[in-house]
């Protein structure tokens, strides 16, 4: 998987037109990108519409929605970044697995209740993270004609996207320019592809709950928006183009999202199955605990306190600690794999630090356990808007909060 930045996914028009988030193009390529896109929507598929920026046209707040194996989490944002409401609600076991909808009726029922009880806006941006979304960065000669550029991108996508293109929702965006290349100017283009049936399946419970999906976003992009440092502002009030530090973001959840970004520009992302669902499965395999109770135990036991000082049944404590340590070892391998893959690319800036997010950061001692094995500074991220929330709530709400933010 190569460099990546935030890009809209086109979705089948099975209801009102969907508008998904768009990236601000890099300043150096703004003119070229505008020409390449022609200021209009791509027409790879006649029934698909590309995203547009902005919140709901009704003036309501926008709700970021993240679904994981055990729960749904929502965060409503009004204005630029004001968190106006939030909620987390449990899901029935098996309703959502590996980033995909299994029981749409059960999820729709939970969403109906949550949005009604908390009087949330029905304008929703959903985060997706699973193995059926593919992102690649390709490099092409600068092509100003939109039709020619689209044809060139599709040709390259057929070579580099490991799924049948006729079964995919496919789109692209210019994310960088290389005007000093010896062989002539080239452009970097992010290509994003998703299985059509997967997109339709994640939209089904949202619409069944009476909600309006105004955007679909990769969960990794919401994570970066939530945790990345703001771009510097000049004395005149304009945002400076300085890219900032290169950071590896890791949202430990179900599944785990990994993203490498410079400032707020995503350079690489992937989804790992190593996450909370993985460690819960390890605990339940060696005990009589239900998945719900296993999750409570992993947060109770953690990785920081010596096991002889933890209250509870010693055998269960030992099994929980063992499962946590095994899953952490797997996570370290996943992080190393991502770092090595990214670093092998020519000319990329080195990663300076790691920022953890997601529900897993509430496991005591996890950052301290990972840091020595990776050789990079590790911090636990928390958006300022969630500063008053307890650690568990802030950890679960970080990603949906980022989904509701505008670029």
pLDDT digits (tens, 9 = 90+) for 193-235: 888 899 999 999 999 999 999 988 889 889 999 999 866 555 5
Which residues neighbour 259 within 8 Å (Cβ) at sequence distance 6 or greater? 4, 220, 221, 223, 224, 248, 249, 266, 268, 269
- Give pLDDT, residue 47: 31
* 138: confidence class by pLDDT, cuts 50, 70, 90: confident
Global confidence as pTM: 0.80
CA-CA distance, 124 to 76, in Å (whole number)? 9
Average pLDDT over residues 332-337: 96
Kindly state the average pLDDT of the residues 161-178: 77
What's the confidence (pLDDT) of residue 100? 92
Residue 251 has pLDDT above 80, yes or no: yes
Residue 214 has what pLDDT? 92
The token pair at 156 is: 């390259």
Give the pLDDT score at 18: 33
3-state secondary structure of 255: coil
Q: What pLDDT, on the 0 to 100 scale, is given for residue 183?
A: 60
Contact between 321 and 297 under an 8 Å Cβ cutoff? The reply is: no
Reduce the DSSP state of residue 347 to 3 states and report it: coil
| The predicted structure's pLDDT at residue 354 | 97
What are the phi and psi torsion angles at 347 (to 5°)?
Answer: 80, 10
Comparing 29 with 269, the larger pLDDT belongs to: 269
pLDDT of residue 241 exceeding 70, the answer is: no
Integer CA distances (angstroms), 64 to 83, 186, 217, 370, in order: 11, 36, 10, 29
Which residue stretches of 195-313 are H helix? Answer: 196-208, 219-227, 276-285, 291-301
Mean pLDDT for the stretch of residues 168-172: 79
Summarised one tens digit per residue, pLDDT across range 8-65 is 333 333 333 333 333 333 333 333 333 333 333 332 232 323 233 344 445 679 999 9
Q: Which residue has the tokens 């999906």?
A: 213
Task: Note the pLDDT tens digit of each residue in 82-136.
Answer: 999 999 999 998 999 988 999 999 999 999 999 999 999 999 999 998 888 887 7
User: What is the DSSP code string of 14-79?
Assistant: SSSPP----PPPPGGGHHHHHHHHTTS---SSTTEE----SS-TTS--EEEEEE-SSEEEEEEEET
Mean pLDDT (whole number) for 230-254: 70
Which residue is it, tokens 């099994």? 319
Which whole-number Å values give the CA distances from 271 to 42, 118, 129, 310, in the listed order?
A: 27, 31, 6, 33
Mean pLDDT computed over every residue of the chain: 81
**What's the rounded mean pLDDT across residues 170-181?**
69
Q: What is the dihedral of CA 285, 291, 293, 297, to 10 degrees?
A: 60
Percent of the chain with pLDDT over 90: 51
What span, in angstroms and rounded, lies between the C-alpha atoms of 208 and 197?
A: 17
pLDDT at 134: 83
Flag whether pLDDT at 303 surpasses 90. yes
User: What is the DSSP track for 102-144?
Assistant: S-HHHHHHHHHHHHHHTT--SEEEEEE-STTEEEEEEEEE---
Longest pairwise C-alpha distance within the chain: 68
CB 225 within 8 A of CB 264: yes
Structural contact between residues 2 and 176, judged by C-beta atoms closer than 8 angstroms: no
Query: What confidence score (pLDDT) does residue 3 get?
Result: 36
Domains and CATH numbers, the chain: 11-272+382-404 (3.30.420.380), 276-380 (3.30.420.40)
Buried b (16+ CB within 10 A) or exposed e, 100-125: bbebbebbbbbbeebbeeeebbbbbb
Q: Are 311 and 233 in contact (CB under 8 A)?
A: no
Read off the DSSP letter of residue 191.
E
Query: What average pLDDT does this structure show over 155-182?
Result: 76
pLDDT digits (tens, 9 = 90+) for 365-392: 999 999 999 999 999 999 999 999 999 9
């Amino acid at each position: 998987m190569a460099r990546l930045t935030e890009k809209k996914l086109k979705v089948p028009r099975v209801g009102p037109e969907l508008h998904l988030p768009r990236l601000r193009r890099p300043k150096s390529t703004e003119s070229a990108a505008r020409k390449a896109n022609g200021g209009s929507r791509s027409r790879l598929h006649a029934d698909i519409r590309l995203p547009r920026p902005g919140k709901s046209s009704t003036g309501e707040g926008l709700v970021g929605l993240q679904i994981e194996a055990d729960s749904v989490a929502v965060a409503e944002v009004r204005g630029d970044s004001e968190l106006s409401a939030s909620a987390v609600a449990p899901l029935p076991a098996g309703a959502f697995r590996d980033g995909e909808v299994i029981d749409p009726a059960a999820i729709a029922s939970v969403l109906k209740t949550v949005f009604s009880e908390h009087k949330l806006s029905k304008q929703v941006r959903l985060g997706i993270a699973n193995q059926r979304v593919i992102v690649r960065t390709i490099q092409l000669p600068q092509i100003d004609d939109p039709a020619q550029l689209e044809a060139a991108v599709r040709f390259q996508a057929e070579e580099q996207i490991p799924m049948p293109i006729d079964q995919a929702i496919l789109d692209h965006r210019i994310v960088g320019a290389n005007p000093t290349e010896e062989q002539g100017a080239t452009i970097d283009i992010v290509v994003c592809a998703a299985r059509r049936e997967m997109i339709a399946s994640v939209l089904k419970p949202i619409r069944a709950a009476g909600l309006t999906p105004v955007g679909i976003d990769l969960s990794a992009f919401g994570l970066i928006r939530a945790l990345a440092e703001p771009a510097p502002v000049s004395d005149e009030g304009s945002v400076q183009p300085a890219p900032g530090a290169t950071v590896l973001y890791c949202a430990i959840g179900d599944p785990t999202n990994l993203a490498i970004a410079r400032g707020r520009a995503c350079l690489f992302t992937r989804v790992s199955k190593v996450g909370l669902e993985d460690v819960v499965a390890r605990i339940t395999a060696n005990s009589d605990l239900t998945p719900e109770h296993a999750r409570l135990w992993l947060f109770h036991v953690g990785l920081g306190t010596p096991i002889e000082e933890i209250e509870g049944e010693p055998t269960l404590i030992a099994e929980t600690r063992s499962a946590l340590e095994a899953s952490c070892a797997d996570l370290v391998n996943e992080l190393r794999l991502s770092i090595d893959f990214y670093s092998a690319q020519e000319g990329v800036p080195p990663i300076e630090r790691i920022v953890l997010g997601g529900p897993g950061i509430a496991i005591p001692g996890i950052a301290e356990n990972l840091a020595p094995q990776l050789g990079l500074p590790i911090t636990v991220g928390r958006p300022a808007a969630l500063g008053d929330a307890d650690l568990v709530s802030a950890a679960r709400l970080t990603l949906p909060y980022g989904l509701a933010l505008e670029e």
